[in-house]
Amino acid sequence: MEEVDKILIHALRQVGTEVGEDVGTVREFSSELIVEAVVRCVRVIDPGLGGALPASLPHGMSARFRVGMSLAQACQDIGYKGEIGYQTFLYSSEPEIRSLLMFLVEKLPRESAEASDQPAGKLVVLQRAIAAAIKAQLAVPWLPPNCRLPLHCETQSVGASHSFHVQPLSLPHCTKAPGRKHLKEVKQYHRDVLPPVTSQLSSHGSTLASLLEQHSAELSAAQEWDNEWNSQGLLSRLTPQEYRSRKLNRLHKRIEEQLRSAAMSSPQSAFGGPRSTSDLSELLQTFRGSAPSDHVLTKGTHFTHTQKFTFTPEAAAVTSSAPAGRPSEGDVQLRQQDELSSLQHQFQQLCSDVDQLAADMKHMSVTNTQVMDELKQKEFGKTEKDEKMQVKKKTIDLLPDADSNLLKLQALVEASAKRVVHLAAQWEKHRAPLIDEHRRLKEICSSQDLESSRKLSEIKSLHDKIRVSTEESKKKEETYKQLVTELENLPQDASRSAYTQRILEIVSNIKKQKEEITKILSDTKGLQKEINSLTGKLDRTFAVTDELVFKDAKKDESVRKSYKYLAALHENCNQLIQTIEDTGTILREIRDLEEQIETENGNKTVSNLERILDDYKAIRQENSALAAKVREG
């Protein structure tokens, strides 16, 4: 039983039960530890059922009885078929607690059972406790604050709630430098200039929401890239960098086409004409070439703009009308307003000029396109007419000597026909090997396509295997770290050979016990067969003897006495056999009673009775205290 208790204690520690290092068997479990172990197991098996169960016993005796009844009902709801009640937890017995814990450990989910086979550190236990607490809180339905009872105050507190407001973040691990040249500058920016995450946000309440949004966006982008690369990137037979650059170029071209089509199909603007689609340099060049000299958008310094805006006619009038002394604040404001109105007027004038120029450019570009199309059509018509004219000119030159020219044409036609036949024969000679070569190359191409598709499928399967292997390696690394931590925590004097020797000794003892049990069973069967054979032989011998002696007893008086002695001997032998059987039965009953006595001693009946008496006295005191409060009230 010690080995079983060790396994149970190990499994209970895995689900978060705080079992002390000095506790080695179930006999040493206290009532508080039993309640905690059962509640932890029930929460793992059924979070909704175990979420409402307290993990510790309260101080009041009536509350203890209620907790014991609720635990017993929860175990029965899970499927425990044994006898269970509040006394199982308050006045526990070793066999009942062992059977209950074995049932609960067997009912644990598969992942919990697999995790219990591997050593776990304090971090894993803490994570499991947090997960169990979150599951228990999610299983409890939400209630408005006005409808909450004192029972719900522990799980549903009226805390400060924040709206899910997301703000963009700049994180070092999210920024990718365009090349190695900027890697040093980027690192320096991250180290010296980039503020922390808490300083990038306007309110502290949106920190968690922004981090979650950033993390989910990164995960979704990585997953989309993996799916796209596995589905389309591998088929393109390009490297990831080439695939990304090609995709970026396509995106730029698509954006340009969309902008161009939107600009071409846009209606007339509010200023009287459509917007221009030419680039900035052409637009500026057009402005320089067509706009008046006072409206040319030339780049100037701050001094030139100041001179221009300051020495306008309106500004000059204002300055001339100002007194020679120090201007007042009202004059300064009036002058600024006048300058602002003049600048706005100039700005509106420039905007109207720009719109007009854009409309003119659009009209000129359309006209230029139409003219170019007409020019191309006319040039094409001119080339056709030139060809016709050359044919007609050659025909007219041949008309004076028509007969000789006809003979020459016939000779040329016959020579051309013979040449065509000769070329066709030569082509047939070259065509057959070319067709064979084409078929061979086509077969090679199809085989290469099949090979490439097979290799692509193999690459995909390898990618999947690599992903699975990576996940398995991560799990194994975590398991290795846990094992190293557990190994460091284990006592150094214990060795693997000692545990192996202990396991081998246990296995050998079990084999010896099985052999002894088999031997005892075989001996018992042999004795039973021998007893049955002797009993049958005795019965047959007595029957034959009785018959022979009875025949002679009718004639001889001495034989009659021997017959009576034979009957008495047989009866005494039967009584002796019955006495031996009754003795064996009594001995078996004595052994059973001794085992029951040992079981009752193990159940701590006397101590449980004392505890029951103490609890009874405590309940009476509580009842008297409550009655006194009722009387006072």
Domain ranges of the chain: 2-143, 221-265, 280-396, 409-487, 520-602
Q: What angle do CA 129, 133, 138 make, to 5 degrees?
A: 150
Q: Which regions of the chain are under pLDDT 50?
A: 112-120, 174-181, 266-281, 283-325
For residue 303, what are its two tokens?
């001094």
Q: What is the DSSP secondary structure assignment for residue 149, as one 8-state letter? A: -
For residue 603, what are its two tokens?
């159940």
Q: Which residue has the tokens 């505890």?
A: 611
pLDDT of residue 84: 86
277 contacts 264 by C-beta, under 8 angstroms: yes
Quote the CA–CA distance of 450 and 401 in Å, as a whole number.
Answer: 68
Quote the CA–CA distance of 82 and 104 in Å, as a whole number.
Answer: 12
Quote the CA–CA distance of 225 and 585 in Å, as a whole number.
Answer: 81
502-522 confidence digits (pLDDT tens): 788 888 889 999 999 999 999
Report CA torsion sign: 217, 219, 222, 227. Answer: negative
Q: What angle do CA 625, 629, 633 make, to 5 degrees?
A: 170
Q: Quick one: what percent of the chain has pLDDT higher than 90? A: 6
166 contacts 213 by C-beta, under 8 angstroms: yes
529-538 confidence digits (pLDDT tens): 988 888 888 8
Quote the CA–CA distance of 65 and 63 in Å, as a whole number.
Answer: 5
pLDDT of residue 490: 64
pLDDT of residue 353: 87
How long is the chain? 633
Alpha helical stretches, state H, 490-556: 496-553
pLDDT of residue 551: 78
pLDDT of residue 51: 75
Q: What is the DSSP secondary structure assignment for residue 292, as one 8-state letter? A: -
pLDDT of residue 514: 92
- What is the distance in angstroms between the CA of the first residue and the CA of the last residue of the chain? 56
CB-based contacts of 108, cutoff 8 Å, min separation 6? 11, 15, 41, 44, 45, 116
For residue 394, what are its two tokens?
């050659």
What phi and psi values does residue 616 have, to the nearest 5 degrees?
-65, -45
Quote the CA–CA distance of 352 and 361 in Å, as a whole number.
Answer: 14
Question: For the stretch 38-56, what's the b/e string if a residue is b when 16 or more beta carbons lie within 10 angstroms of its beta carbon?
Answer: bbbbbbbbebebbbebebe
For residue 566, what are its two tokens?
């034979």
Quote the CA–CA distance of 479 and 483 in Å, as a whole number.
Answer: 6
Q: Quick one: what percent of the chain has pLDDT higher than 70? A: 80
For the full predicted model, state whether its pTM sits above 0.95: no
Question: For the stretch 260-272, what's the b/e string if a residue is b when 16 or more beta carbons lie within 10 angstroms of its beta carbon?
Answer: eeeeeeeeeeeee
Show contacts of 78-83: CB within 8 Å, 24+ apart.
78/42, 78/45, 78/46, 78/49, 78/104, 78/107, 79/107
Burial class (CB in 10 A: 0-12, 13-18, 19+), 71: buried
Quote the CA–CA distance of 239 and 457 in Å, as a whole number.
Answer: 17
116 contacts 11 by C-beta, under 8 angstroms: yes
Give, in order, the Cα–Cα distances in Å from 613 to each of 218, 423, 603, 606, 609. 65, 125, 17, 11, 6
Show contacts of 3-9: CB within 8 Å, 24+ apart.
3/506, 4/98, 4/102, 5/98, 7/105, 8/98, 8/101, 8/102, 8/105
pLDDT of residue 159: 53
552 contacts 559 by C-beta, under 8 angstroms: yes
Alpha helical stretches, state H, 108-172: 110-116, 122-139
119 contacts 482 by C-beta, under 8 angstroms: yes
